[in-house]
Structure 1
Amino acid sequence: MLGKLEEEDVEKLLKEQYIGRLGCHDEGMSYIVPINYVYNNDIVYAHSAPGKKIRMMRSNPKVCFQADQIRDTFNWKSVVCWGKFEEITDISEKQNVLQGIIHRMMPLTNTPSEQPSHGTGKTDAHDDEIIVFKIVLNLKTGRFEVNDRSN
């Protein structure tokens, strides 16, 4: 059975997942990349090293975000959202967001004692190059498929 997720199910999925896909578009080119994220109150928080997605979002801040939960081919939930990229420059807010990402991601790693990638570690020499950003969502939709025989 295919269906539409209710608003509370959309919110639950966005809060539970920690990897999503960010879609940007600029100068006739679309670009989709996976990102680690934290979600709270219609805002997706994330970080990145400088690169293509940051250049594209600075040029065109209108983005798309997708997260899903897939059990198998016929049992899944997917949420697609649209919003606006905003770079976080306030040092205190930037540190709070990075701490939130660290607390969300570290329990999920196989070797939590190792340094996280690009900039979430306290001793990373390139911390000043880390871009912390938020996607302020203005539209969310969700779909699901459930195979009734598997329940």
Structure 2
Amino acid sequence: MLGKLEEEEIEKLLSEQYIGRLACHAHGVSYIVPINYVYSSGMVYAHSAPGQKIRMMKSNPQVCFQTDQIRDTYNWKSVVCWGKFEEVTDAGEKQRALQGIIHRMMPLTNTPSEQPSHGTGKTDAYDEEIIVFKIVLHLKTGRFEVNDSSN
């Protein structure tokens, strides 16, 4: 059975997942990339080193974001959102976003001590260049499929 996710199911999926896909478009080129994220108050928070996606989002801040939960081919949920890229420059908001991402990702890492610090306060070249951004969402849709015979 195919169906639409209700608003609370959309919010739940966005809050529970930690990997999504960010799509941007600028100068006639489309680009989609997986990102680690944390969802809070209607916003997707993420971080990146400078590069193509940051350049494209600064050029055209209108982006699309997608995340999903897939058990198998006939049992899945997916959310697609549209929003606006904003670089986070406030030190407090930036720190809260980074801590949120770290708290979501570290339990999923086998060897956290061997991973880049990702803005945890350790000084290295990556931390100095890190860009924290948010996607302020203005439209969210969700779909699902469930195989009734699997219940």
Q: TM-score, normalised by structure 1?
A: 0.95
1:23-74 per-residue CA deviation (whole Å, 9 max, x = no partner) reads: 0000111000000000011100000000000000000000000000000000
Inter-partner Cα distance in structure 2 for 1:50 and 1:23: 16
The amino acid across from 1:75 in the alignment is N
Corresponding position of 1:70: 70
Q: How does 1:60-99 map to 2 (within 5 A)?
A: 60-99=60-99
| Residue 12 (structure 2) aligns with | 12
- For 1:125, the equivalent position in structure 2 comes to 124
Contact 2:21/2:66 (8 A) holds in 1: yes
Partner of 2:112: 112
What is the CA deviation profile of residues 73-108 of structure 1, one whole-angstrom value per residue up to 9, with x for unaligned ones? 000000000000000112222112111111111011
Question: Contact 1:115–1:121 at 8 Å: present in 2 too?
Answer: no
Question: TM-score, length-normalised on structure 2?
Answer: 0.95
Amino acid paired to 2:134: K
How many Å apart are 1:124 and its aligned residue?
4.0
CA distance in 2, matches of 1:150, 1:138: 35
| 2:22 maps to amino acid | L
Distance 1:128 1:88 in 2: 14
Structure 2 distance, partners of 1:124, 1:9, is 39
Q: Deviations over 1:100-132 (max 9, x none)?
A: 111111011111222336x33432412121000
Q: Distance in 1 between matches of 2:16 and 2:64?
A: 19
1:10-29 Cα distance to aligned partner (Å, 9 max, x none): 00000000000000000111
Does the 8 A contact of 1:88 with 1:132 survive in 2?
A: yes
- Could you tell me which amino acid in structure 2 is paired with residue 20 of structure 1? G
Q: CA RMSD in A?
A: 1.1
Specify the alignment match of 2:36 in structure 1.
36
Q: Tell me the distance in 2 between the aligned counterparts of 1:91 and 1:79.
A: 30
Answer whether contact 2:99 2:120 (CA < 8 A) is retained.
Answer: no
Farther off after superposition, 83-92 or 137-146? 83-92
Letter aligned with residue 147 of structure 2:
N
In the alignment, is the contact (CA less than 8 A) between 2:61 and 2:84 conserved in 1? Answer: yes
Runs (5+) with no aligned partner, structure 1: none
Q: Secondary structure at the match of 2:113?
A: coil
Of all paired residues, the percent bearing the same amino acid is 79
Structure 2: tracts of 5 or more residues without a match: none
